[in-house]
Chain A
Amino acid sequence: MTNQPCKNTTLLIGGLTLLTAALFVWALAAGPAGLTLTEVFRALSGHGFSAADLIVREIRLPRALLAILIGGSLGLSGACLQGWLKNPLAEPGVLGVSGGAVLGAVTAFYTGYAALFPIALPLGGLAGALLAVLFLLLLSGFSGTTATLILAGVAVNTLAFAATALALNFSHNPYAALEIVFWQMGSLADRGFDHVWLALPFILSGCILLLSTGRALNALSLGDDTAASLGIHLGWLRWRLVIGTALCVGAGVAVAGSIGFVGLVVPHLLRPLTRHEPGRLLVPSMLGGAALLLAADLAVRLLPAVSELKIGVLTSLIGAPFFLVLILRGRREAL
């Protein structure tokens, strides 16, 4: 009987892995140029140069891989931050890193470097995320409390938002401003392997750092003092969480703009299925985030529209009412 939760988690992880794999294959096959599964697998395995091969390898594969990387890292960092802050409303944006990444990318737009060479955009985003983390640690002190860290995150976010608005305000021409606004909405369209290789090392190392916090997060559900008395080093945990989230979110925003609600909704949805144990929630949230972003990107691509709907707009559009329903249901249960 005591192994029941263990078995359930394995089932959940297996199911989510299958779901992600199925969505991944679908993402490679679906689109204006409809391809059969055979064509997809042949394109993946071979080195041919037919139109189908190029579409799968150069256009759809990097896009689907980015959806998995970014969705997975958003789900994982959301689950970690919710566990750490003991608050189901925490999300990866609270640390201000996403704001910093947006500002960095916008600066690349504004200075015109983004137009000169495309990779300047994500590089600017990464630099912005890094600066935001340094600023965050300076503001909150190296050993401050969780509350000072969150307040510092709010300050960083506000400052980055103001600076971004300033860049828009002084934009040379309306098209540049429009481009910045569209980029901020978040999208995986027209991303290539350049973007994948740029984001991959950061997201992978961030995920490894975050996945290592599971045990500590479990202990933290009994409060900071009890966790420390159980042998958890709180300062070291904080570093792993801040740096891991910054790597994941910074790289994600840098290549795809800001994509909201995945980091908030996915852990929230999966938590009851993991018996509310924060450590058990990490891997399922990562897989769930990957599946959700793959599905959202598929929806964006397949929805008939004059211009493509931005994925960040879609996730927020669906996420917000959905979240509202969750809150209302929670309130009814509490009454």
Chain B
Amino acid sequence: MNGFRVRNIRVCFGAREAVRQSSFDLNDGEIVGLIGPNGAGKSTLIRALAGLVTPAGGSLEFLGKPLEKWSARERAKQLAYLPQFPQVHWPLSVHAAVALGRMPHARRIGPLSAADEAAIERALAETGTAALKERAVTTLAGGEKTLVMLARTLASEPKFLLADEPVAGLDLCHQLEVMELLRRLAGSGRGVLAVLHDLTLAARFCDRLLLLKDGRLVCEGTPAQVLTAERLRETYGVDTEIYERDGELRIIPRRRL
């Protein structure tokens, strides 16, 4: 089943074309890594998929239905979006922040239902943040905060998760923790698209990679197909050393060209 079916999508900011003529599919049950140099249009593309910017052209189908045909509330039930460096503007408790993920499901007025509470508890348990429940989000360290924000996306029990650089600024342990969590989500049948900069991490955890440069989809395929020294030289302008150990690719940047 297709999560997303994207054909010839174009996104423009004024005269500048941030994403041009890209086509790809994203399936349920797989993690797809969106990679490419800074300014390649990764964030713009993922925001277009989340329905936050309107494409200038092309077609964008989510779960078999054009994205613009979804009502905001119905879309929010199926599709979660985790922005880059998620912000929390007030010292909300972790529980309250995660509970916001129930907004598309919950009644408009009145307290949360038992089903809402159960979903929140599950999300907290899945991300290992149940112990933080009463803490104020603003007092959390970066890794904990990212896990809590991921719990927020899980609380809405979406079919698909769009995550913009979910491991940016995290230490090694939290990077692995977040990626393992995304892996488990895909294992439970949900689709995940994540913007990633660490290519070794991307190669290890992603089923497929989309490589973007100057707004154009340069290459799509398994990590081994996409990550070749020649292609990284062309797109990133960097000489890399790529080798395989224990069935996994290791990518080490050597020098700029």
Contacts and interface: CB of A to CB of B under 8 A. Distances in A.
Contacts of A172: none
Given A222-B100, A229-B50, A231-B73, A2 B80 contact: no
Contacts of B120: 2
Interface in B81-97: 81, 83, 86-93, 95-97
Interface of B: 47, 50-52, 71-73, 75-76, 79-81, 83, 86-93, 95-97, 100-101, 103-104, 108, 111-112, 117, 120, 136, 149, 152, 156
Interface string A212-243: 00010011111101101111110000000000
A6 B111 contact: yes
Q: Which 6 A-B pairs have the closest CB atoms?
A: A231-B76, A229-B81, A86-B89, A231-B72, A231-B73, A276-B90
Interface string A264-304: 00000001000111100000000000000000000000000
Contacts of B101: 230
A275 B87 contact: no
Interface residues on A, range: 20 to 34
A230 B103 contact: yes
Given A221-B88, A225-B52, A2 B117 contact: yes
Nearest to B87: A223
Interface in A190-225: 215, 218-223, 225
Which has the most chain B C-beta neighbours within 10 Å: A226, A228, A275? A226
Contacts of A144: none
Nearest to B72: A231
Contacts of B149: 222
Which has the most chain A C-beta neighbours within 10 Å: B92, B120, B136? B92
Given A226-B83, A229-B76, A231-B104, A277 B89 contact: no
A307 interface: no
Which has the most chain B C-beta neighbours within 10 Å: A6, A221, A222? A222
Nearest to B107: A215
Nearest to B149: A222
A229 B111 contact: no
